[in-house]
Amino acid sequence: MNDLIKELYQEIILDHGQDPRNFGECNPYNKSADGHNPLCGDNLKLTFFVNHDDIIEDIKFTGEGCAISLASASLMTEKLKGLKISVAEEIFKDFSNLVSGSADDLNVLNEEDSLYALKGVGGFPMRVKCATMAWHAFKEALKN
């Protein structure tokens, strides 16, 4: 077994890939966007509800994709629920660095975070889009 594969597919990734959390649609929601990876056809729909204090009260997704994209979306929703938008945006910056091989450039994320399990994606440049699809949908939804 190759170490790169072990690092990419950690137990938590396989778990969330097979059994994604927060799978569904928020009711009600006031933000939504579609994520799409034209490379493979994977797609998701992200919905969330932001309250008057700019806090993400609820966040869910539906869609189909590989283990990396589903696990990433699942872990993202777990992480972002209850956070302020501005904090979520900081995390997005760190996460982008983490999965593109720049794990040294982190400000708010650390090894204790479940999101850190996606660090292995850095060894597979063609899979970065799988890991960031949900996050790009999140950013897109904030623009709408």
Asked if 46 and 86 touch (Cβ cutoff 8 Å), the reply is no
Residue 85: phi, psi to the nearest 5?
-55, -45
Is residue 39 within the footprint of another protein (CB under 8 A)? yes
Only one of the segments 45-53, 72-80, 102-110, 124-132 lies at the binding site for another protein (rule: CB under 8 A); that segment is 124-132
Only one of the segments 20-28, 39-47, 88-96, 107-115 lies at the binding site for another protein (rule: CB under 8 A); that segment is 39-47
The whole-angstrom separation of Cα 120 and Cα 123 is 6
Closer to another protein by CB, 48 or 122: give it: 122
Closer to another protein by CB, 59 or 69: give it: 69
Is residue 14 within the footprint of another protein (CB under 8 A)? yes
CA angle 132, 133, 139 (to 5 degrees): 85
The whole-angstrom separation of Cα 72 and Cα 136 is 11
In three-state secondary structure terms, 139 is helix
Is residue 64 within the footprint of another protein (CB under 8 A)? yes
Where along the sequence are the contacts to another protein (CB under 8 A)?
1-2, 4-5, 8-9, 14, 39-42, 64-68, 124, 127, 130
